[in-house]
Structure 1
Amino acid sequence: MRIGAVFPQLEIGADPKVVRDWTETVEAAGYTHVVAYDHVLGADPANRPGWKGYTDQSQFHEVFVLFGYMAAITTSLELVTGVLVLPQRQTALVAKQAAEVDVLSGGRLRLGVGIGWNEVEYQALGVPFSQRGARLTEQVELLRRLWAEPVISTTGQFHEVVEAGLNPLPPRRSIPIWFGGNADAALRRTGRIGDGWMPQSAPNDRARSQVELVRAAAVEAGRDPAEVGIEARLTLGAVPEKEWPGFVAGWRELGATHLGVNTMGFGLDKPEDHAAVLRDVLPLLRDS
């Protein structure tokens, strides 16, 4: 199981030195990858009674710019979006940004994507919220063609590209696309066309049934289910410390190939404390 660190978006602040120190500490400690969350806008809840979720006070570094910075200061860390809200974005532009990060990092990008939940962002970015599921499936096909072929032509429900292509292309001529989400539709989509699934739950009976659904969808699509990776997420502040080894072992038993360790919500006083906790906890998790 490859163990990565979740970039503490909400608690690390905007000092580039702190971001650099966190990144270098994580790589030196032996983590295999970094997972960064994504949001473009936060909603002001003042006139939105009952609003739940991130707000305008929630800080999010822009993932592609962040990964460009990280690519320059690391040599081995895989850079993972967990997850990029893909349907609210222009697909060709995402293809270009992702390809550039992959080029600058030497082929170290993994693109986790999902449909999102924040209608405020969709409105501001000019994309109908109701179309997000249908857009996502078409986007994945288009991304893969843009990364693989120098010039393409295609017409779909949401996209039209006529004799055009990216330059430079990603070194591998492909970038892994993983899916977030727990709805049955998201799980089936993962099995049909995804390179992996990124759950955020405990390794319980529900998770087992979800893994089985992903694998069944892969088989139905004529794919080897073993080729579909699984990245679990351990949020240290939500799971008692004595249960961390069992959490990791449980997901390993369910077939998880990756694990992301999240230090947000752990009660840390200073931004730099996140790197220290990640450095100290990795040996315990490796032995689980």
Structure 2
Amino acid sequence: MRVGVVFPQTEIGSDPGAIRAYVAAAEDLGYRHLMAYDHVVGADPAAHPGWSGVYDVDTTFHEPMVLYGYLAAISSLDLITGVIILPQRQTALVAKQAAQVDLLTGGRLRLGVGIGWNAVEYEALGQDFSQRGRRLAEQVGLLRRLWTERSVTFTGRYDTVTGAGIAPLPVQRPIPIWFGAQSPAAYRRVGRLADGWLPQVQPGPELDEARQIIERAATEAGRDPAALGMEGRIHYGHGGAEAVARAAAQWRDAGATHVAVNTMKAGLRTVDEHIAALTEVAGTGVLDPR
């Protein structure tokens, strides 16, 4: 099981020096990959009475593909989007951006995708919030064709491509696509379409039930459920380093191929405090190969 980190972009600010320091520390400590969340715009609560979203207009988010182009030059960590909100983005442009990141990193990108929850963001990007699940399912097949074929002709419900392709192609052909999932419909999409998944629940009955749905959908689609990766998320704020180590063991027993340590929402105020938390976790031996 490979252990990585969740990039704490909402709490370390926008200083490039802080970003470099955090990524270098994570790599030096032995973490294997970095995950970054995605939001293009945030909603202003003053303009949306009753707003209850997790993030708003003042929450700091770096654009993952641009960030990863920068990190490709300074780090050898694997990079995963966790998750790109795919249906609000242009499919061919995502294919091009992901291929470029994969090329610059020598094949170290995993494209985590999901449908999102913020209708305000969909409106700003000119996409239909109500069609997001259906659109994602169509986009995945088109992405894989754009990453593996010189010239693509495709006519779908949401996208049309006529005799066109991207160059250069990525190192990984195709780039692995992992799904964020937290509903039965999303679990079924994982089984039918994904290379791996990012559960929103912890090991226990809910995770077991989700895996059953995924495995059944994969089998019905003629796919091998055992080939699907699974990445859990562990929150440092839920008990500190020792709790992270215990949770990592639970994820390993549950069959996770990856986990990511999230130090956000733990009362940490600076990049140095986030690095100190990662150092504390590394000291438990959780990064040792097993």
For Structure 1 versus Structure 2, the TM-score category normalised by the shorter chain is over 0.9
How many Å apart are 1:279 and its aligned residue?
A: 2.5
Aligned residue in 2 for 1:170: 170
Aligned residues: 287
How many Å apart are 1:240 and its aligned residue?
A: 5.6
- Equivalent positions of 1:1-288 (< 5 A) are 1-52=1-52, 53-75=54-76, 77-239=77-239, 242-284=242-284, 285-286=286-287
How many Å apart are 1:48 and its aligned residue?
A: 2.1
> C-alpha deviations, 1:184-228, integer Å up to 9, x for none?
011111011101110132211111111121112111111111110
| TM-score calculated relative to the size of structure 1 | 0.96
| 8 A contact 1:211–1:254 mirrored in 2 | no
- Structure-2 change in CA distance of 1:211 and 1:283 (3 Å): farther
Distance in 1 (alpha carbons) for counterparts of 2:239 and 2:191: 28
| 8 A contact 2:244–2:281 mirrored in 1 | no
Paired letter, 2:111: L
Paired letter, 1:246: R
Distance in 2 (alpha carbons) for counterparts of 1:240 and 1:25: 18
Aligned-residue CA RMSD (Å): 1.4
Distance in 1 (alpha carbons) for counterparts of 2:106 and 2:219: 32
Worse-superposed segment, 241-250 or 161-170: 241-250
Unaligned runs of 5+ in 1: none
Q: Is the partner of 2:145 in helix, strand or coil?
A: helix
Identical aligned residues as a percent: 55
How many Å apart are 1:171 and its aligned residue?
A: 1.2
Paired letter, 2:250: G
Unaligned runs of 5+ in 2: none
| 8 A contact 1:88–1:127 mirrored in 2 | yes
Worse-superposed segment, 235-244 or 82-91: 235-244
Q: Is the partner of 2:25 in helix, strand or coil?
A: helix
Q: Is the partner of 2:112 in helix, strand or coil?
A: strand
Paired letter, 1:67: Y
